[in-house]
Chains A and B, each alone.
Chain A
């Protein structure tokens, strides 16, 4: 095993955790971690939050210090693009033509920002996505240069909203345009959308929904954003947060099975037995939810990395984590656990102003909890979902009862269908 080599493509949360977990689980061979991003691998969640507002260097947000890679004998190859995988020869080709052989290959290639096809978007010059440290550095300097600090954010998902909150902290004038008729429409319930809509408006963000941007025009020292209904908005800086494109091209060209992500089994193995895949770029079957899911989260990347490191070292463990997410905006901490898709009922539990939780049920089965400034609801919700506990709904919505009192006993153990 000492002569074997494990090659990891993608050095973000998934790839980095995998490299260190491989060592912890006993991998003695070489570990090569490759990424196109030249920076020492960093935490991504702060990019839209403290990294954007602080003016700090990206090194402050490193996942691990450089010495840790040396200590664990993890070879970093940064700023290098992988062009090709040959799964028959078990080789990859880099953009400098170098060919590297592998015994195990892990794809942790993640995703990149989706740049929508809007007329003029490529020529405007002040349009930025936000996915990498470089993006944030570009945004920071564009805002510093901007005369009026007038920013339009296109896209009202979590990224767009986090950016809006950060920009308000930087005292920019922020307009947020959402194509749908409510913000967060793709990821949460109307109830939570309404809360965040009110929150951002109270902080001075101009939110406009049902606004489909069709063109960006450069005027003298401003940009005009034109929507389908004829509305026009003006900005010195435009930030795009409309979603992602999965980096599955390498896997696809190599002939791996792809279906809304690289398809992996319960051990994160792809359709090729020597190739694994983890994180945002993958699609896996969730035993808990009894369906295939694709997740965009740190939790999924890290937990899949741990399962994969075990599997590669011969300790097979089925991946069955309950997904969790968080978003920090202003002084609001949103914590989410589980997947609410397909819910038939959502119950609101109010604790106090700006402290509440939404509980999503399908029949009597708790699917997900979205907790605002309410870690207790998040934690107890996590336990209830994991263990299929049954919940007394009347007590749950009545804050005179503790949440604990509403979670009665072990449930039916039935799977969600």
Chain B
């Protein structure tokens, strides 16, 4: 079980728990505003963009090449950006805080 905190663009904090699937799926299933996942989680639409709070980047690891490229579609992307459909929920993610991209 991993506890994941989302901070939305209106500064609302949403804390969710999950044990499998992707972070995007967890967010969509729980209606986190700003995470759409239009392509269903195949790294094609870039509508599940989050910024990892810097101190947790060691937990999330690095984006793959395709993910990094897709993030370039979004002008708000930075070095902490991830597509949450590519973040698989494991115990390793427990406690992370993600800011939903604008």
Interface residues of A, Cβ cutoff 8 Å to B: 13, 17, 24, 43, 45-46, 61, 64-65, 67-68, 71-72, 298-299, 302, 326, 328, 333, 335, 373, 375-376, 378-380, 382
Contact = CB atoms under 8 A, between A and B. Distances in A.
A379 B73 contact: yes
User: Among the interface residues A24, A379, A380, which one has the most CB atoms of the partner chain B within 10 A?
Assistant: A379
Given A43-B40, A45-B40, A326-B39, A68 B31 contact: yes
Contacts of A299: 38, 45
A71 B30 CA distance: 10
B28 A64 contact: yes
B45 to A, nearest CB: 8
A72 B31 CA distance: 10
A17 to B, nearest CB: 8
Given A64-B28, A68-B31, A333-B66, A379 B72 contact: yes
A61 B40 contact: yes
11 contacts: A45-B39, A65-B31, A68-B29, A68-B31, A298-B39, A299-B38, A302-B38, A333-B66, A373-B66, A375-B65, A379-B73
A379 B70 contact: yes
Nearest to B66: A375
Interface string B41-77: 0111100000000000000000001100110110000
B81 to A, nearest CB: 13
Nearest to B69: A375
A71 B38 contact: no
Interface residues of B, number: 19
A17 B28 CA distance: 12
Given A45-B39, A65-B29, A326 B73 contact: no
Contact of B44 (A64, A65, A71, A326): A326
A302 B36 CA distance: 10
B69 A46 contact: no
Given A64-B28, A64-B31, A71-B31, A45 B42 contact: yes
A24 B70 CA distance: 26
Interface in B1-51: 28-31, 33, 36, 38-40, 42-45
B62 to A, nearest CB: 15
A375 B70 contact: yes
Contacts of B43: 333, 375
A333 B67 CA distance: 12
Given A43-B40, A299-B38, A302-B36, 5 more contacts: A45-B42, A68-B29, A71-B31, A375-B43, A379-B69
Nearest to B21: A60
A285 B40 CA distance: 28
A375 B40 CA distance: 17
Nearest to A68: B31
A298 B70 contact: no
Contacts of B30: 65
Contacts of B39: 45, 298, 326
